[in-house]
Chains A and B, each alone.
Chain A
């Protein structure tokens, strides 16, 4: 009996992974579920969670559960694309600039410094605001901000790795630059980049919701947890569930991704390596 409780407790400790899996599944399988996130019904406006619907209805009588699932799709797709685009640009620039050095490295470092001079998601707010709303523009705006961190991290990692003997040996043996990148440098610097990317996802989820909260993200009929919170803020006193439901879901996903990032970092022992 005792062993059994221990086992269930151990499974409970994996809740961040469970939440992340749910997030991915709902995002990918949402379109297959019989959901009606845009069905307006004026007879059930602002109904609180209860028998009729698990999570209640919003100001247009749309089921909040269905809209939260639709919002999961938005945040998942945006996170996925932004991470992919940012990684491609950032890691490539970081490797090339650190490996070759010279004037190109100087230019890249200068550009990184200029982008880092924009505080937080301010640049993304400006870009999304100027390019207009829409999920593609959100991805472009967040990637424009996102690549910088990966470029800086990759550059620093490559600078420390490229002095190692096996790289020198590969150069001396006449290996091609691309094969040195892929076979000898990338595997060594992958762990910290993966850890950085996992924390990056938490930031992107918040940033996407933030842009949508400001009215600069996805537009109806698409849903985002951010614009659900914005709509709900107007009915805070009469229907707090309109803010609480998407808010708690957003918070849980961000918390889960952050905790998963912590575990990845411990697993790869990244902090230890960088401090040595």
Chain B
């Protein structure tokens, strides 16, 4: 276990270092002079030089890079070009909205996918199965930026049940979370169906049936817990898609989270803020993945032993 933890954390450290460096070098991808892009072509030379100096762009790249890593390590993201506020405080202001959105989307995804996957697996190759899998295929094929407007059209405009956008009322979160959750529910329900189909052919399921337990009890208490382990791993991996999807969903619904902040910063050419948002989302994803990996190993000793041998 210790060996596994050390190697896993070491490779994670390299990934974190790589991601941070990649984000740093992004600003050097700006075509031409980044300062000119930020200020516009009509800016005065003195202003350009001031900004160049303020951003540290007049120093050698290597020095800039080490300086960037040093500041990130101390959680100091610098100052926004646009509002001149500390980026850390801007990020902290927008984080709760994104956490709320992704957690509720995750909840929706689980609530939709579990019954759909179980229904499909228990009635394999029946009309139910085909219907559930068609719904799931549609869910994968409808991107967030289409699902969002469709849900707004139905629930806000025709039915008038839910607000169109913003985060003013508690029920505002329902439509964005549903938009974000459906794509994930589509993938999850396929996974639930596939793993459940494998599990119900196991010997212990037949034993449970043979000793007279009801079908319902067998599925709920014997089959489902064994299905959940791979599903939970997939949840961890899918969180990345959820975070990236949150960017587009937040824009559709004007949801004041990190995603909306990222796109606003891109349009305002506030590159330090863009870098910090991308870094925050990616590092969150890396950390969640490590946590999922470790939890999985704690829960299933077979994986641990397999890795060590």
Contacts and interface: CB of A to CB of B under 8 A. Distances in A.
Interface stretch (A60-68, A82-90, A107-115, A166-174): A107-115
Contact of A251 (B29, B146, B267): B146
Q: Is the interface of A mostly helix, strand, loop or mixed?
A: helix
A119 B153 contact: no
B248 A213 contact: yes
Interface stretch (B92-100, B136-144, B291-299): B136-144
B285 A117 contact: yes
A127 interface: yes
27 contacts: A114-B15, A117-B16, A117-B19, A119-B244, A122-B281, A125-B266, A127-B26, A130-B29, A130-B274, A131-B31, A132-B31, A209-B143, A210-B143, A213-B248, A214-B247, A214-B248, A214-B251, A215-B263, A226-B145, A232-B149, A236-B152, A243-B149, A243-B150, A247-B149, A250-B146, A254-B143, A255-B138
Interface in A108-154: 110-111, 113-114, 117-123, 125-127, 129-132
How many of chain B's residues touch chain A, expressed as a range? 35 or more
A125 B262 contact: yes
Given A117-B18, A210-B248, A237-B153, 20 more contacts: A110-B18, A117-B285, A117-B289, A118-B240, A119-B242, A122-B278, A126-B278, A129-B263, A130-B266, A131-B29, A131-B30, A206-B143, A209-B145, A210-B143, A213-B145, A215-B263, A230-B145, A243-B146, A243-B153, A255-B137
A72 interface: no
Interface in A234-270: 236-237, 240, 243, 247, 250-251, 254-255, 258-259
A216 B149 contact: no
B149 A119 contact: no
A123 B262 CA distance: 12
A202 B19 CA distance: 27
Contacts of B240: 118-120
Interface string B56-90: 00000000000000000000000000000000000
A254 B247 CA distance: 21
Contacts of B263: 125, 129, 214-215
Given A111-B18, A117-B282, A210-B248, A126 B274 contact: yes
B274 A118 contact: no
B176 interface: no
A254 B146 CA distance: 13
B54 interface: no
A201 to B, nearest CB: 13
B286 interface: yes
Interface string B17-46: 011001100110111000001000000000
Given A114-B18, A120-B240, A127 B29 contact: yes
Contacts of A110: 14, 18
A119 B282 contact: yes
**Interface core residue of A214, A226, A229, A258 (most chain B CB under 10 Å):** A214
Contact of B252 (A233, A237, A240): A233
Contacts of A130: 26-27, 29-30, 266, 271, 274
**Interface core residue of A121, A130, A237, A247 (most chain B CB under 10 Å):** A130
B185 interface: no
Which 5 pairs of residues, A with B, have the shortest CB-CB distance? A120-B244, A119-B240, A114-B18, A129-B266, A213-B145
Contacts of A119: 239-244, 281-282, 285
B95 to A, nearest CB: 16
B163 interface: no
Contacts of B148: 233
A251 B242 CA distance: 20
B267 A215 contact: yes
A119 B239 CA distance: 8
A121 B148 CA distance: 18
Contacts of B131: none
B259 to A, nearest CB: 9
Given A121-B244, A122-B278, A130-B27, A258 B11 contact: no
Contacts of A254: 141, 143
A174 B247 CA distance: 53
A255 B135 CA distance: 12
B9 interface: no
A107 to B, nearest CB: 11
B286 A117 contact: yes
Contacts of B282: 117-119, 122
Given A119-B285, A122-B278, A126-B26, A229 B141 contact: no
B137 A114 contact: no
Given A113-B15, A114-B18, A229 B145 contact: yes
A9 to B, nearest CB: 16
Interface in B238-280: 239-245, 247-248, 251-252, 262-263, 266-267, 271, 274, 278
A251 B15 CA distance: 35
A111 B153 CA distance: 43
B103 interface: no
Contacts of B144: 210
A114 B244 contact: no
Contact of B142 (A131, A215, A251): A251
Interface in A148-201: none
